[in-house]
Structures are given as structure tokens and as C-alpha cells.
Amino acid sequence: MKGIISNLHKVFESRIRLGIMSVLVVNDWVDFNTLKQFLDTTDGNLASHLKALEAKQLVEMKKQFVGRKPKTSYQASEAGRNLFAQHIEALESLISKK
Amino acid sequence: MKSNSNSNDDIKAIKSMMERSSRFLSLSGLSGISAGIIALIGAAIAHHLLESVKTDDPGLLYFLRPFPFGEIIMPLVILAFSVLVLALASAIFFSWRKARKQNLSLWVPATKRLLTHLFIPLIAGGFFVLILIDQNAEILVASATLIFYGLALINAGKFTFGEVHYLGVSEIVLGIAAGIFVNYGLLFWAIGFGVLHIVYGFVMYFRYER
């Protein structure tokens, strides 16, 4: 039981972060506005969660210019994918425990 | 500690988000219905064009053999092209409307994957049909278009509603039948591109959009 709990990572505790990771593991680069649409959240909220995930190197960010507009895209890093997979596994084994 | 129901909700949220973001879910049932109706109208016009040059009376929605190219080939090509453009435009229109209702943009990451997977078999099929015509095997055109279209749908089905897969299987079965009963090419076309799309559209509309 202890092993399972330690695999539940604090960094994924918020719904928005779970959402971000869910989108990023099944897609390649996803830009900020698309993420915002999927998660139905505000710019500030999404940006702060992305920043937190980026600080832990779970997501990677790139900036491009489309015409004159900057476009920021994100993808899940290798470490992020692994950690998120562990997290899902832990969630699933918690459910099946009962 | 996280409670059990909480974990369950998390898993559900993760699954639905993966689903929502990796599939093109703006495809509307109305797209299928409108494309089907346009195809049926096109088949009816093609039938009349063929009627106008027939020599004997081979029945409804046939392909003439030998194919009466020459005088009606251009009208037929223009007709086929208009049907394609109109059907595509209506499909895009209804998808755009559905996307707006869902507050999603039409261009999500899955859109690109859907289109790539749809158009690779479709373009291959297009070239193959040109080869068939060049080799004077136009009686197999109906069969080939249906089979390649079915393959394209099965390929693209992974990136949108699962039902598209079954539409694809039906088109392939129909395409094989069209290859056996080569004299009824137009009839099989009308069923494959008209009736099947309409049936599919109704199923999807009542399942997901009501």
C-alpha cells in the first residue's frame, strides 16, 4: 500500500494539471490556446500550472512566431510521460483495492 | 490520503480529456446526411445523362457497356467534381457549426491526423482510378472508388468517432459487390456514397447530437 501512495505524485494533484498531462501524452506539440479550449480555463490559471510543470521538467515549451503573433506550444517530456503513467497506475490500483 | 471516489473521478477526467483531445469530435451527423443527399442527387443526374445516350434499355442506374465516353464524358466529370466539392463543403459546414456549439475550434491537433490518414488512401485510390481508366477498365471504377474510400474511412476512424470504422467496412463490402456486378456501378455508387452516408448520419445525429 505504501508503494502505491508514494507513486501518487503531488505535482498532478490539481485537475488542471491532470488535464494538461492527459492532453499532452496523447498529442504532439499542442499550443497554448488549444490547451485553454480543452481545459476551459483562464490564461493566468493555465499559465501558472504550465509553469509549475515546466519547472519540474515534466513538459517542454517552445515559442514560434506565426506571422507576427508569438505562439507557445507544449509537449510532455519523457520524464513527464513516465511520471504521469505511474500516477495513473497508482490511481487505478487504488480503485481496484476496494 | 486520496479517497477512492476521488481517484475514480480523476481517472474518468483523464480518460475523457485524452479522448476529447485526440479525436476529432466535431464531425456532425448532419454532415453525413447532407453529403448523402448530394450524392443521391448527383447519381440521379448521372442516370439521366446516361439515359440520354443509351441505345437499348438495360434498366435502372446501370453503367453502359461499352462505356459511352465521348459525348457525355465532360458533363459526367463536371458532375462528379461538383458532387465532391458540394459534399465536402456541406460536411465542413456542419462540422464547423457543431464545433462552434461545443466551443471548440475546428482545427484541433486531431484534425490534422484525421485528414492525413483519410487522404493518403484516398489519393492513392484517385491515381488507381486514373490508371483503370487509362487501361480501359472503367467498369471497375465504381468498385475501386468504394473500396479505397472504405479503406480511407477505416484508417481515419481511429481519430474520430468509432462508428466511422463500420461505415468504412460497409463501403468495402459494397465495393467488392460492385466489382462482381460491374453493370450496376452507378447503383452501388448511389448506395455507398448516398444511402450509407445518410444512414450513418442519422445514427450519429441521434446518438450524439440529440
Q: How many residue pairs bridge chain A and chain B with CB atoms within 8 Å of each other? A: 59
Domains identified in chain A, total number: 1
Beta bridge partners of B206: none
pLDDT at A40: 86
When the pLDDT of each residue in chain A is averaged and rounded to a whole number, the result is 87
What distance in Å separates the CA atoms of residue B182 and residue B87, rounded to the nearest whole number?
25
Residue among B122, B115, B121 at smallest CA distance from B24: B115
Judge: B109–A28 Cβ closer than 8 Å, yes or no: yes
- Quickly count: other Cβ atoms within 10 Å of residue A84's Cβ: 24
Judge: A34–B13 Cβ closer than 8 Å, yes or no: no
Q: Minimal Cα distance from B15: which residue of A?
A: A22
Residue A89 to chain B, least CA–CA distance (Å): 10
Q: Give the mean model confidence (pLDDT) for residues B22-41.
A: 94
From A25, A27, A95, residue closest to B109, measured CB to CB: A27
Higher-pLDDT residue of B58 and B152 is B152
Grid coordinates representing A56? 519540474
Residues of A in contact with B108 (CB under 8 A): 34, 37
Residues of B in contact with A1 (CB under 8 A): none
What distance in Å separates the CA atoms of residue B135 and residue B144, rounded to the nearest whole number?
14
pLDDT category at A38 given cuts 50, 70, 90 is confident
Q: Give the mean model confidence (pLDDT) for residues A74-83.
A: 94
From B4, B13, B108, residue closest to A18, measured CB to CB: B13
| Gyration radius of chain B over CA positions | 20
Q: Give the mean model confidence (pLDDT) for residues B136-164.
A: 92
Is B108 at the interface with chain A, CB within 8 A?
yes
Tell me how far CA of residue B96 lies from CA of A5, A76, B30, B208, in angstroms. 44, 29, 11, 16
A81: domain CATH number is 1.10.10.10
pLDDT at B108: 83
Is B21 at the interface with chain A, CB within 8 A?
yes
What distance in Å separates the CA atoms of residue A40 and residue B194, rounded to the nearest whole number?
38
Place of cell 498529442: A27
Place of cell 476521488: B6
* Region of poorest pLDDT, from A55-64, B16-25, B67-76, B98-107: B67-76
pLDDT at B53: 73
pLDDT at B189: 92
pLDDT at A77: 94
Q: Reading across the β-sheet that carries A69-76, which strands appear in turn? A: A30-31, A69-76, A59-66
pLDDT at B124 over 80: yes
Is A15 at the interface with chain B, CB within 8 A?
yes
Beta bridge partners of A70: A65
pLDDT at A4: 60
Q: What percent of chain A has pLDDT over 90?
A: 52
Structural domain of residue A34, as residue ranges? 2-96
pLDDT at B47: 84
Type of residue found at A18? L
What distance in Å separates the CA atoms of residue B164 and residue B172, rounded to the nearest whole number?
13
- ipTM for the whole complex: 0.81
Q: What percent of chain B has pLDDT over 70?
A: 90
Residue B114 to chain A, least CA–CA distance (Å): 13
Higher-pLDDT residue of B93 and A69 is B93
